Amino acid sequence: MPFLGQDWRSPGWRWVKTEDGWKRCEPFSPALEDGNNQLNDISHAVILTGDDEEEEIYSTEDCEFAAKKRKKDHFRNNTDSQCFYREKWIYVHKESTKERHGYCTLGEAFNRLDFSSAIQDIRRFNYVVKLLQLIAKSQLTSLSGAAQKNYFNVLDKIVRKVMEDQYNPRLIKDLLQDLSSTLCILIRGVGKSVLVGNINIWICRLETILLWQQQLKNLQMNKQVNNGLTLSDLPVHMLNNILYRFSDGWDIITLGQVTPTLYMLSEDRQLWKKLCQYHFAEKQFCRHLIPSEKGHIDWKLMYFALQKYYPIKEQYGDTLHFCRHCSILFWKDTGHPCTASDPNTCLMPVSPQHFIDLFKF
């Protein structure tokens, strides 16, 4: 069809997907149109305000402006509920076809995949934080203006959640440190040539980040009052099994500071050896052997030494998934319209770094 709308300059009608099929979207209700038409027919309006009933006269031009503003406010307030069908998946296309033109950008994917809701799920929280950290390090300037605004809105919700729940503040501190370092370099060294928006907005954002860092620094953990069993009441072998479930060395050290028993278990050489073998290949830690005073290998020091040279394995409760058949990126529990005969065989979990790599052209 050469023309989709009554006016050849118009992009055409807006359609929404419903259970009964595709229907044309009417952005404004008939009642609103009737009210605006009546308002436009009035040449002069008299409005009584205040106790003294002072009269204020509006011309026809002012009435038309008020009507347009009311239309715009009504459209904004009802956009999500009436006019758009928002999917929580995105088609990742890297080339133009006859049916689809353009490319999928990192900012577009960030806006579509509903990270604001994902941070409320404890299985996805660490995944989203790690993704934001990678974007802060190298991809912040590649986000569009809307995506950058969404990025800081999600970051604000993350900080609020940590302040309320005291959940994993160390991870958020690392994210804010990387983000503040990146913004300082961009604002001082490069300037507004690569930043979307007014430079003063970015300065305000940097000040907000510094304020968040100070709040997290002064964060006081709430003491839990329990009358039942506590972690210290568990048998030693159960405490040891808990420590062996950790994949982060800093978590082991933090837990070891709770009680003397946990400290003794957290210093076990076998525990740190297993951790090194899990994250690093044998060739890697054989190059950085660190002997202790007794002549044994100090696996704890080796873990933190190897961490400086090689990346550690990442574990997440839930991740984004990519369908190789449909080229769609989505959260697994939300699903996507897959056309494969066996969709489960086409799914591939996507790490935060893989997510960034998908949108590098």
Give the pLDDT score at 225: 58
Structure tokens that stand for 288 in this block: 């950085």
Alpha-carbon distance 268 to 273, whole Å?
A: 9
Alpha-carbon distance 328 to 203, whole Å?
A: 36
Alpha-carbon distance 331 to 117, whole Å?
A: 11
Question: Is residue 131 a contact partner of residue 109, using CB atoms and an 8 Å limit?
Answer: no
DSSP state of 243: H
Give the pLDDT score at 289: 72
DSSP state of 140: G
pTM of the model: 0.66
DSSP calls for 291-346? B-TTSSB-HHHHHHHHHHHSPPP---SS-EEEETTTTEEEETTT-----SSSGGGG
Tally of CA atoms within 13 A in the half-sphere of 209 that contains its CB: 23
DSSP calls for 181-233? HHHHHIIIIIGGGSSSS-HHHHHHHHHHHHHHHHHHHT--PPPP--SS--GGG
Q: Which residue carries 């808990």 as its tokens?
A: 242
Compute the CA torsion angle 48, 50, 52, 56 (nearest 10 deg): -40
pLDDT along the chain (361 residues), means of 10: 47 68 60 45 38 43 50 46 56 68 75 86 90 89 85 92 86 91 78 67 88 88 67 86 88 88 90 88 75 76 85 84 88 83 87 85 57
Q: Which residue carries 């529990």 as its tokens?
A: 333
Structure tokens that stand for 32 in this block: 């609103």
Alpha-carbon distance 197 to 240, whole Å?
A: 52
For 11, the 3-state DSSP assignment is coil
Angle (nearest 5°) at CA 197 between 134 and 142:
30
Give the pLDDT score at 68: 53
* Buried/exposed code over 150-165 (b: 16+ C-beta within 10 A; e: otherwise): bbeebbebbbebbeee
Alpha-carbon distance 46 to 54, whole Å?
A: 10
One-letter identity of residue 2: P
The two beta strands, 320-323 and 347-350, are: antiparallel
φ/ψ (deg, to 5) at 291? -80, 150
Structure tokens that stand for 252 in this block: 């082991």
* Burial of residue 97 (number of CB atoms within 10 Å: 0-12, 13-18, 19+): exposed
90: which strand partners? 329
Alpha-carbon distance 62 to 54, whole Å?
A: 18
